[in-house]
Structure 1
Amino acid sequence: MSSDYDVFRLGDLPLLKGGVLKDARLAYKTYGTLAPKGDNVVVMPTFYTGSHDRNEGFFGPGRALDPARHYIVSVNLFGNGVSSSPSNTEGPQSGGNFPAITLHDNIAAQNRLLTERLGVTQIALVTGWSMAGCQSYQWAVQYPEMVKAILPFCASARTSPHNFVFLEGVKAALCADPIWNGGHYDTQPVEGLGAFGRVYAGWAFSQTFYRTGLYRQLGYDSPLALMDDWARDHAENWDANDLLCKLATWQAGDVSAGPRFNGDYKAALGSIRARTILMPCTQDLYFPPEDNEIEATLIPGSQFAPYNSDFGHCAANPGNDPGFTTQLDMHAATLLAL
């Protein structure tokens, strides 16, 4: 990961579930220049295992999102090891004592970054993959007067029961390692992290991906080789408490959570003013298209635009499916042109 990023200090951040995140820090990176009218801002939050630099695969010269025309703000999710996280927080909130963070908290912090630090008053587009896409919905509900368009892909406005159950499974695999010790470990629970990665690999791609041997296009000679690689990656590169912090944020995902809508999901989605295109992958095991199809009936004027790919959720990962990238750019260009 690049160390070339900025940090916005928020002070003590009040949290939706109560309490505060002490000395909260939001890490971000900007690309391009803010237009004189301030109307070229694109916000790209990070996804579950992403950081600001991994968002670079979704934009570039000549693409729909281009720093030559747009002011792109890539913002790190709390818990990803760059913004405030269990692994980089000192004192009483370190490690397993890190407080529960919601998407509402993340977006409240991002709004402060944009308005207080960057001088942004309007957002042309919020877009992102997976948990980043979930934040796109949250932006549109939380700050409807500020957001002009959203393009969540392979995401949802509320974590479904099935998605919640999947996350409980990978969580159980990690926490079964006795070294985890309720989050109060001295060394990383690498066996648990490896088990987490192996389970995760079974859901990140579709059944068709494995049945047809599509994993060979990614350089693996067998499903076991892919699983071994994912296990090694998680064991070597992730802090257990960071993964669990973000997992809890994901599980609690619901745009209607909070005092404004009090769980009224339909009212929350109905409040969205932003132009909206929802782009699921038809073979996504985390965020199936049926969820987005329901959302599209509740978001005024929204478009449901599914894309079929044997890569499943990972169709969105830059480089995997060129067709997905083409359609994503097409939808981004459409929203920005309106």
Structure 2
Amino acid sequence: LREHPDAKGMLLITPTDWGSCADVTGVARVCHAFDVPFIVDEAWGAHLPFHPELPAWGMDAEADLVVTSVHKMGGAVEQSSVFHLQYDRVAPEVLAQREDLLGTTSASSLVYATLDGWRRQMVEQGHELLEAAIRRAHRVRAAAAELPGLRPMGREIVEEGLAADLDPLKIVIDVRKLGMSGMQAVEWLRVHRHVDVGGSDSCRISASITCADDDETEEVLLDALRALVEHADSVERRPAVRLPEPSALELEQAMLPRAAFFAPVEHVPAERAAGRIAAEMISPYPPGVPVVAPGEVITDEVLDYLRSGVEHGVLIPDAADPTVRTLRVVARDAVTHA
């Protein structure tokens, strides 16, 4: 904020899909010291207000505005999201106007009904339901830790300073010692055990325990993990994804995203793309997070990551060329005249 005094506010995503959480209160107080609003994208945190063993809810942690996707860790249908607003840094009428500009004119009564039903359930039974879910998650994590080749993520990430807190309902398991990636593990579980988990990457899988789980679903998940370990040798060995250091993903922003996206473009071979300005979004799935955005300068490290990912089986559906043999970049003449 000192380096960017013109900043209008801060947006932070926490918890992540992996359950790791930021120090929301600390960030909020820094933002408020500069009198800018602090907005939390709490897509994975609908359950947080309803049990003291869960990480702090954004509203309790002094955020100005929290956006919550209730359809993820809550109990509402898809597209059910809500705003939470406090303090006076964001005017309610301004927020309402922005929502009116972007929101649908055909609101779904089903969305509103399930939101209200879930709200009532949490008020009446939330603590009891989440208490059972937390105990279940602890059992699943402990059982997974007993299986050879599986390493569940736990509170050690907080103790080591890698996160401020951890959502215990996220069962994140490193599967690399089985000789496979998280993507391969997810694929095997789906095909051979008809079990879908919430996410994966080159190292890990992530399953969510919720209020809807019971003894049967707990055992289905554990049986599937046991089978995965037992049949690990049958999984095809693929080239490893060459992961860059986190700092290598912080690319230089050479042009504004809109200017780069609408600029004259050309498609260049990947071998000649380093140093060029991207004119497209490139998001490897999983995890589905953009690695390159329009206006950013493409680097050799990112190209190596993307191409090794494709060789491993990673999907890049938003790139003009999903194979990443070519990339869509801003034409040199456009850069000269920008």
TM-score category of the 2 structures, normalised to the smaller one = under 0.3
Q: Which has the higher contact order (CA 8 A, sep 6+)?
A: 1
TM-score, with structure 1 as normaliser: 0.26
Q: Which has the larger radius of gyration?
A: 2
Structure number with the higher helix fraction is 1
